[in-house]
Structure 1
Amino acid sequence: MASEIIDQLKWRYATKKFDPNKTLSAEKLDILKQTFNLTATSFGLQPLKMVIVSNQETKNALMPLTYNQSQVRDASHVLILCVERKIDPQFIKDHFKLVEGTRKTSREILEPFEQALLQSFEEKNADEIKQWMINQVYLTLGALLTVCAVEKIDACPMEGFESEKYDTLLELDKMGLQSILALPVGYRDESDFFINMKKVRRGVEELVFEIN
C-alpha cells in the first residue's frame, strides 16, 4: 500500500491542461468535500470554507481574473479555498458548543480550554489571525492534493488570481469570506505537454535528516 501511494504521488502534477469534456462524478466530488471537512486544523476551529464552481459561464468569467490561465475554464470544477473575514469570540464559543454536543463533554472540562483560547485570540491582532487562517488553508490544500492523487483526480493549485475580483464575482465578500487559493480539479488532457515530464525534486537524501 505504501509503495502504491508513492506511485500515485509521482503520478500527480500541477495540471496545465484539463480535458473540458471530462467531469468528476458526484462520488468523486463528495470525496473531496469530505477531505476538506476532515482535514486537521489548528484547535479544530476550521476557520475556512470551500466554494465549488461548476457552472461553465462562471468558470469562463473567472478565467480573465486568473490571468487568463485556462485551467479554471476547462477543469470539471474549481475549488476555491477561503478564510473567514472575521473570527470573533462567538466563533470560538460556537466551536466549543459543537464539541460539547458531539462528544457530550461536560462544560466543566471544556470551560478552561475555551477561556484559554478566547484569551489567546484576544491577544492577537487582525493580521496575526488572518495569517493563522491562511496557514490552515495550506494544510487543507496538502490533504486535497494527496487525496486527488490517490483518487486519480488531476488538480492545479493556483495562487495567481485576483482575489478581490473573485470575491466580488462570486459574492464571497457578502458571505464574510475571502478567497485565498483556487484549485481547479478534473482530468488531464492527454495533449498536455507536462504529462510525461520527470518530477524535479531535490531528493530525500538532501531534504530529510534523521537525528538519533
Structure 2
Amino acid sequence: MKPSELLDTLQWRYATKAFDPEKKISAETWAAIEASLVLTPSSFGLQPWKFLVITDPDIKAQLLPHSWNQQQVVDCSHLIVLTAQAPVTGSELDAFIDRTHEVRGGEKSDLQFYRDMMGGFVAKMSDEQLLTWAKNQVYIALGQLMASAAVLGIDACPMEGISPAEYDKILGLEGTGYFTTVACPLGYRSVDDKYASLPKVRYNKEQVIQHI
C-alpha cells in the first residue's frame, strides 16, 4: 500500500451511524478481521482480553436498550464486544510462558526471568489497577480493529455509549474474570447515512504533532 492509499483509506473511514442491515461481511473478510485482532500487540504480550463476535439477532436486540438504543448494534453485520481480563494472576502468567515455549521452543528455564519480571509488575498493582491496565490494552485492540477494517473496506463504529454491567449479564460474563470495555459494530454503511459525506473535523497537524 502506498502512503497516499493509506491516507485515502483513513479519510474514507468514519464512525458509521447507519449500517445497511442487508449487507453482510463475507467469511473470508471476517476471518482476516479476526486474525488482525489476534495479532494485536499488548503489554508484555499478555493479551488480557477476549473478543466476543455477535451475529445472533436476538442477542443484538437484547443489547440494544443497553446501548443508548443506537441502531448500529442491531443493523451491523457483526458486533464485536471487546472485554478486558482482570485480575491477571500467576496462572495467566504461567499460561503465557507455556505458550511462548510452545511457539518459540528452546529451554523453558530461559523464560523464568521474563516470568519473574511480569510477576513483579502484577504484584505492584491492586485488582482495580490491573483492570484499568487491561482496559487500556483493549483500546489498542480497538485501534487495530478499526484500522484493519478500513483497509478491507469495512465500516465500523467504536461505541462507549453502552452499559458494561448489563452487557456482562446478557453475554454471560459475570464471574468469568472478563469485563465489557467497549463495543464495535462492523458492516457496510447505509446510503442514507448523511455522516458518510461530511468532512472530517481534525486540528491541523501543527497543533497535535511536535518534533523534538
Q: Structure 2 length as normaliser, TM-score?
A: 0.96
Deviation at 1:101, TM superposition (A): 1.2
Identity, % of aligned positions: 35
**How far apart in 2 are the matches of 1:80 and 1:20?**
19
Q: CA RMSD in A?
A: 1.0
Q: Deviations over 1:77-115 (max 9, x none)?
A: 100000114311110011011111110132232111111
Q: CA deviation at 1:59?
A: 1.0
Counterpart of 2:8 in structure 1 is 7
- Determine the structure 2 residue equivalent to 1:143: 144
SS in 2 for 1:30: helix
1:171 alignment partner in structure 2: 172
SS of match in other structure, 1:81: strand
2:106 & 2:44 partners in 1: Cα distance? Answer: 16
Q: The residue matched to 1:180 in structure 2 has which SS?
A: strand
Cα deviation digits, residues 118-162 of structure 1 (max 9, x gap): 122112111211111011111111111111110110000000111
Structure 1 residues 1-20: Cα deviation after superposition (integer angstroms, max 9, x where no partner): 11101100000000000000
CA contact (8 A) 1:52 1:78 kept: yes
CA distance in 2, matches of 1:5, 1:59: 32
* Range that drifts further, 10-19 or 96-105: 96-105
Deviates more, 1:57-66 or 1:174-183: 174-183
Structure 1, gaps ≥5 residues long? none
In structure 2, the partner of 1:191 is 192
Residues 77-92 of structure 1 mapped to structure 2, 5 A cutoff: 77-92=78-93
Residue identity matched to 1:201: R
User: Which residue pairs with 2:203 in the alignment?
Assistant: 202
Name the CA distance, whole Å, in 2 between partners of 1:201 and 1:105: 49
CA distance in structure 1 between the aligned counterparts of 2:206 and 2:169, rounded to whole angstroms: 46
Secondary structure of 2:194 counterpart:
coil
Query: Is contact 1:79–1:184 with CA below 8 Å preserved after alignment?
Result: yes
Structure 1 segment 54-133 matched on structure 2, within 5 A: 54-133=55-134
Cα separation, 2, equivalents of 1:135 and 1:85: 12
Is contact 1:100-1:107 (8 Å) kept?
A: yes
Counterpart residue identity of residue 184, structure 1: P
SS for the counterpart of 1:124 is coil
Corresponding residue number in structure 2 for 1:154: 155
Residues in 1 aligned to 2:183 and 2:121: alpha-carbon distance in whole angstroms: 30
Residue 118 of structure 1 aligns with an amino acid whose one-letter code is G
- Helix, strand or coil at the partner of 2:81: strand
CA distance in 2, matches of 1:136, 1:84: 10
The answer to whether the 8 Å contact 1:99/1:105 transfers is no
- Flag as ranges the 4+ runs of structure 1 deviating above 4 A: none
TM-score normalised by structure 1 residue count: 0.96
- Aligned with 1:18: secondary structure? coil
Distance in 2 separating the partners of 1:74 and 1:156? 12
Q: 1:174: how far off?
A: 4.7
Letter of the structure 1 residue corresponding to residue 56 of structure 2 = N
Question: Would the aligned equivalents of 2:86 and 2:130 in 1 still touch at CA under 8 Å?
Answer: no
- Amino acid paired to 2:37: F
Distance in 2 of aligned mates of 1:57 and 1:108: 49
